Amino acid sequence: MTALHSFDAIDGANPSAPLVQASNGDFYGVALEGANGYGTIFRITPGGAFSTLYSFSGTDGANPSAGLLQAPNGNLYGTTAAGGSNNVGTVFKITPGGALTTLHNFDTTDGAAPLAALTQGTDGNFYGTTDTGGANGYGTIFAITPGGTLKILYSLRPTDGANPIAGLIQATDGNFYGTTSDEGPNFLGTIFRITPGGTLTTMYSFSPTDGQDAEGGLVQGTDGNLYGTTTEGGTFGAGIVFSLATGLGPFVKTVPTSGSVAANVTILGSDLTGATSVSFGGAPAAFTVVSASEIATAVPAGATSGKVQVTTPSATLLSNVAFKVTP
């Protein structure tokens, strides 16, 4: 391990969220405290060159506890858990150079204390959760445009689950999935699905034997299932790791999700042994099956932006997001 930077409370303190690597190769993150006592946004190079991009003052937000998201336009988006004009949190945009814009000030009626990172949907809008507030006081699920127009998709009720600490993921069916840390039919939290239009369905209610307090969020595996953790419950009362089958089918995932012709691409998936073809936007590509979960390939000549397709003896698999062919 190499320590790249030691915070001194002026340039930040208590960084508790994951870093994000931006398209320029640098890492961006947040700290809960800083020069003004309300938190900072910082940039650090892989070699450790550190700079404070922004110090919150309270009126523009406070205590950014969630990681940042870089959108295709190059700007970074995030939330603060407190501060803003109503002191219950904000949604903000910041350029890689450090110019910050407050996009929304929560006012409790539309939510309060957004603790999780935002997710950008395929429609270009951002989706997120608030821990409390809303019509019923148990948290909200919201959408916000890049320009700052916010819409409440759902105000949680105790029967739905309450206090979503984690953010949302958009699965391959286009719907969003998330967790609540409390309430629900068994009073121990839930897993839910919500459409982009705001129709919520409780997918699972935790019980003492199978976990409680799902605070860590979800990921979708390439087998189609959802995976996550709970902080408590289970056989020994110390939490569980779980999977949830929702009927979604398997897919493949490309790393990276964009590249020029001849650029190397790794395809991740399940049961890839025996794959017979790989194509980018209909253009066939040469490939090597590295293992049952990995294929090595390159962007072929004639490729166009679109889903990557992998054919195996048992299925035809598409990538979860469109691959962008760059000049």
Domain 253-325 belongs to what topology?
Immunoglobulin-like (2.60.40)
Q: Which among 169, 144, 170, 141 has a CA at the least distance from the CA of 156?
A: 141
As a whole number of angstroms, the distance between CA 309 and CA 174 comes to 18
User: Would the pLDDT of 213 be above 90?
Assistant: yes
Compute the mean pLDDT over every residue in the chain, rounded to the nearest whole number.
96
Domain range list for the chain: 20-244, 253-325
Q: Coil, strand, or helix at residue 323?
A: strand
Tell me the mean pLDDT in the region 294-320: 96
pLDDT tens-digit readout, 100-151? 999 999 999 999 999 999 999 999 999 999 999 999 999 999 999 999 999 9
Tell me the mean pLDDT in the region 283-291: 98
Structure tokens at 260: 């020029």
| Backbone φ and ψ of 46, nearest 5° | -60, -25
Structure tokens at 273: 């042994």
- pLDDT for the residue numbered 135: 97
Domain 20-244 belongs to what topology?
Methylamine Dehydrogenase; Chain H (2.130.10)
- Residue 182 Cα distances to 80, 141, 230, 317, angstroms: 22, 15, 11, 36
User: Would the pLDDT of 209 be above 90?
Assistant: no
- pLDDT > 90 fraction of the chain, expressed in percent and rounded: 98
- pLDDT for the residue numbered 208: 85
CB 13 within 8 A of CB 56: no
Q: Look up residue 69 and give its amino acid.
A: L
pLDDT tens-digit readout, 225-242? 999 999 999 999 999 999
pLDDT tens-digit readout, 32-85? 999 999 999 999 999 999 999 999 999 999 999 999 999 999 999 999 999 999
